[in-house]
């Protein structure tokens, strides 16, 4: 079989923007703000920062090392370093890609809807109450299809001409949008209560295992970890990037955007007197409360709402690209398919798998819980054990492209002891709870 040369990024910026594009998405704006609201505001933020540094960063670096070192998709990368017994883990990663993208596309479809509402109609007072109607059913599925077609078309275009080019255009745009909105939110009267809620720490809420679990799951989701997405992007790198620096940059940008998004969401909600609605709606915080805020803002609500949801669409698109790329690169590597065929066939299948999530938001929420608590945290555990204990000389591999920094052994020690211990502790709590939330569906 003639194998085409492996695709590569055309520049360092291309890789970094694509990886940040993967990380920054609905997780930063939708998931981060609703979890923060649900788990006591600032305490959650502090815990989240700690978890990201201690658990997220080491795994991010581990994925990049595995990808660049093996120059293979997830399905082959693990076997490359650990032997054939590790191949099934790559399959689990691909399965996670199917699962997450199939509901992620549905949420992205909601953001498309609200962008269009802002553009063509404007928000009115009934918008909050109609969320349940528009979020479930044929409309929701239709918009999911639209979003998926865009995602598939970009991935089918290839690493350089599809993924990289899109990220180079969209990520700076997203950054400008989010920062601009934060500046605007700062001008609103009555926003102080929002900042206070968001930034004032009540440490008692941190010592709760459920909060720890949610923070860990969010760190994995937001950084796109635990299912080989960063691994896949790493596999298109030449062996010259300084991977620890790239990891810091990616994680820094991800946290930065999530934090700034909070500076948009909370002042807005509090300035318009909608804070009581935040706690009552979990995942609805963004799609119920914010459109209502935009409706109550009067004339400016429309442009502001448009820019806000447009930023969400942009973030969702560059993230969805990376989710699909995990599946597509595995089909190219594992089945010998062409990129176009892999993108359209696998993407089409994922689109269909979105039907249950588009049908019912409770199913969507359950899928999100299973993905995070089970696939991502479990995948992270497996990755830490693999790189910490199984892989030969990961420190030598990470040193490629650097001048051999001495604290790299610390990274390995984290992967060996700290990361697995925390993840085991968290999984012990998360798995039974995931089953409960599944059982509640029936």
Give the interface with ligand TRP as residue ranges (CB under 6 A).
22-23, 25-28, 100, 221-222, 224, 227, 229, 319, 322-323, 376
Query: Residue 248 CB: number of other CB atoms within 10 A?
Result: 15
Residue nearest to ligand TRP according to CB distances in the complex: 27
User: Which residue, 168 or 405, has its beta carbon nearer to ligand TRP?
Assistant: 168
User: Which residue, 295 or 343, has its beta carbon nearer to ligand TRP?
Assistant: 343
Shortest CB 402 distance to ligand TRP, Å: 26
Shortest CB 23 distance to ligand TRP, Å: 5
User: Which residue, 217 or 388, has its beta carbon nearer to ligand TRP?
Assistant: 217
User: Which residue, 118 or 323, has its beta carbon nearer to ligand TRP?
Assistant: 323
User: Which residue, 366 or 376, has its beta carbon nearer to ligand TRP?
Assistant: 376
User: Which residue, 27 or 291, has its beta carbon nearer to ligand TRP?
Assistant: 27
Shortest CB 216 distance to ligand TRP, Å: 13
Shortest CB 198 distance to ligand TRP, Å: 19
Shortest CB 68 distance to ligand TRP, Å: 18
Shortest CB 44 distance to ligand TRP, Å: 16
């Amino acid at each position: 079989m003639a194998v085409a040369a492996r695709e590569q990024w055309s520049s360092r910026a291309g890789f970094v923007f694509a990886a940040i594009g993967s990380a920054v998405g609905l997780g930063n704006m939708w998931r981060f703000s609703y979890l923060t609201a649900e788990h006591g505001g600032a305490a959650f933020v502090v815990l989240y920062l700690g978890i990201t540094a201690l658990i997220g960063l080491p795994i991010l670096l581990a994925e990049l090392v595995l990808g660049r070192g093996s120059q293979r998709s997830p399905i082959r990368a693990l076997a490359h370093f650990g032997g054939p017994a590790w191949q099934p883990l790559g399959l689990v990663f691909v399965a996670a890609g199917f699962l997450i993208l199939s509901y992620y596309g549905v949420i992205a479809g909601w953001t498309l809807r609200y962008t269009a509402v802002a553009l063509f109609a404007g928000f009115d007072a009934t918008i909050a109450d109609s969320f349940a109607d528009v979020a479930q059913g044929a409309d929701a599925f239709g918009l999911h299809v639209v979003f998926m077609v865009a995602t598939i078309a970009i991935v089918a275009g290839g690493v350089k001409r599809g993924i990289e080019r899109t990220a180079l255009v969209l990520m700076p745009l997203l950054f400008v949008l989010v920062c601009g909105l934060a500046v605007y939110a700062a001008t609103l009267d009555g926003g102080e209560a929002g900042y206070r809620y968001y930034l004032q720490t009540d440490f008692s809420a941190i010592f709760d295992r459920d909060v720890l679990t949610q923070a860990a799951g969010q760190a994995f989701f937001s950084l796109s970890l635990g299912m080989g997405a960063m691994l896949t992007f790493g596999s298109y790198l030449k062996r010259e990037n300084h991977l620890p620096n790239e990891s810091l940059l990616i994680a820094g940008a991800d946290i930065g955007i999530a934090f700034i998004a909070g500076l948009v969401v909370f002042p807005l909600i509090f300035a318009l007197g909608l804070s009581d609605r935040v706690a009552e709606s979990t995942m609805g915080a963004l799609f119920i409360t914010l459109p209502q805020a935009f409706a109550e803002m009067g004339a400016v609500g429309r442009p502001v709402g448009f820019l806000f949801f447009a930023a969400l669409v942009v973030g969702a698109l560059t993230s969805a690209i990376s989710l699909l790329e995990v599946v597509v690169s595995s089909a190219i590597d594992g089945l010998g398919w062409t990129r176009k065929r892999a993108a359209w066939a696998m993407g089409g299948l994922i689109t269909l798998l979105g039907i249950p999530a588009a049908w019912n938001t409770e199913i969507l929420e359950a899928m999100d819980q299973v993905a995070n608590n089970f696939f991502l945290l479990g995948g992270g555990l497996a990755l830490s054990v693999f790189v910490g204990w199984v892989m030969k000389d990961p420190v030598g591999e990470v040193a490629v492209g650097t001048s051999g920094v001495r604290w790299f052994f610390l990274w390995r020690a984290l992967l060996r002891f700290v990361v697995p211990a925390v993840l085991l502790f968290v999984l012990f709590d998360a798995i039974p709870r995931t089953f409960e939330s599944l059982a509640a569906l029936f």
